[in-house]
Amino acid sequence: MTPAPLIVADALSKSYGQSGQHVIRALDGVSLSVLTGERVAVVGKSGSGKSTLLNLLAGLDRPTAGSLKIDGRQLDRFTRNEMARYRCQTVGIIFQSFQLLPQRTALQNVELPLMLSGVPSRRRRLQALEWLDRVGLASRAAHLPYALSGGEQQRVAIARALVHHPRLLLADEPTGNLDSVTADQIQSLLLDLCSDGSVTFVLVTHDDHLASRCCNRTVAMGDGKLMEGGHDAIL
Ligand code: ADP
Ligand code: MG
């Protein structure tokens, strides 16, 4: 049986600036389907609209035009509350700059999505510890982010992104701030955690090696559009 699409974007656009003034079309009519369990890399030059697309998928921003369905639900019509619930239950996100809360320990950072979903404290702590263990950082649970290396911080961020079993994992240049050896370790970890098909993965990257290693499909963006060859039929 063919898996159902988890993401269906149809002519999705995002512009910045008011009409009459100079308008930036950060995303310009992108149509893209991603099947459940698929791992898709989005590549393209800086400024091509990759992060804009990812932020729309994450529910961090709203499109100016077009439609975006996630699991059959029309994300662009969600209320604020529905969007907040979507972000904390359905999505896990990993950023280039880790974005851990600086005054919270590694464990507290990983617990955060569970806290937002109202998981009781004991269960929350156990689940977060289990995930710190999975990313190889059980012994660093009580450390604050400043006391962790870049690679360790990204591991904490990966645990935080996956602890609540999101259906959709999004990553924006996750190895962009890391040296090549550490980047390689983070790649292996992502591959290890995402290859069983239980999570759909959209990865924004400049790194062709990361794209081909971690993903089974690559789409390319240029000037806010999917480029020739990267065109993607609506299912
Ligand atoms: P990428 O991630 O591929 O580097 P972005 O999605 O960040 O590209 O940006 C696409 C375009 O949209 C760029 O021209 C960028 O300057 C512009 N842009 C992104 N965010 C904003 C914003 N908040 N306000 C105005 N322009 C923006
Ligand atoms: Mg970007």
Q: Which of 70, 72, 76 is CA-nearest to residue 14?
A: 76
Which ligand 1 atom sits closest to the C-alpha of 46? 4
Q: Which of 148, 144, 219, 211 is CA-nearest to residue 174?
A: 211
Pocket test for ligand 1, best of 18, 42, 51 (most atoms within 8 A of CB): 51
Q: Using the predicted structure, report yes or no on whether residue 198 has a pLDDT greater than 70.
A: yes
Which ligand does the CA of 48 lie closest to?
A: 1
Residue 25 C-beta-side C-alpha neighbours within 13 Å: 12
Which ligand 1 atom sits closest to the C-alpha of 224? 10
Q: Using the predicted structure, report yes or no on whether residue 70 has a pLDDT greater than 90.
A: yes
Pocket test for ligand 1, best of 45, 52, 225 (most atoms within 8 A of CB): 52
- The confidence band for 235, taking pLDDT boundaries of 50, 70 and 90, is very low
Q: Which residues line ligand 1 (CB under 6 A)?
A: 16, 24, 26, 44, 46-52
The Å distance, Cα 25 to ligand 1 centre, comes to 9
Please report the pLDDT score of residue 207 as a whole number: 87
Q: Are 125 and 172 in contact (CB under 8 A)?
A: no
In the chain, what percentage of residues exceed pLDDT 90?
84
How do strand 91-95 and strand 168-172 relate by DSSP bridges?
parallel
Q: Using the predicted structure, report yes or no on whether residue 173 has a pLDDT greater than 80.
A: yes
The residue whose CA has the least distance to atom 12 of ligand 1 is 26
Q: Using the predicted structure, report yes or no on whether residue 197 has a pLDDT greater than 90.
A: no
Pocket test for ligand 1, best of 12, 24, 28, 30 (most atoms within 8 A of CB): 24
The Å distance, Cα 127 to ligand 2 centre, comes to 31
Write out the DSSP string of the chain. Answer: -PPPEEEEEEEEEEEES-BTBPPEEEEEEEEEEEETT-EEEEEE-TTSSHHHHHHHHTTSS--SEEEEEETTEEGGG--HHHHHHHHHHTEEEEETT----TTS-HHHHHHHHHHHTT--HHHHHHHHHHHHHHTT-GGGTT--GGGS-HHHHHHHHHHHHHTT--SEEEEESTTTTS-HHHHHHHHHHHHHHHTTSSSEEEEE-S-HHHHHHH-SEEEEEETTEEPTT------
Of 13 and 228, more confident: 13
Least confident interval from 11-20, 86-95, 124-133: 11-20
Mean pLDDT, residues 222-229: 85
The Å distance, Cα 192 to ligand 1 centre, comes to 31
What is the Cα–Cα distance from 87 to 60, expressed in whole angstroms?
8
Q: Using the predicted structure, report yes or no on whether residue 116 has a pLDDT greater than 70.
A: yes
- pLDDT tens digits along 143-162: 999 999 999 999 999 999 99
Please report the pLDDT score of residue 21 as a whole number: 77
Please report the pLDDT score of residue 149 as a whole number: 97
The Å distance, Cα 78 to ligand 1 centre, comes to 23
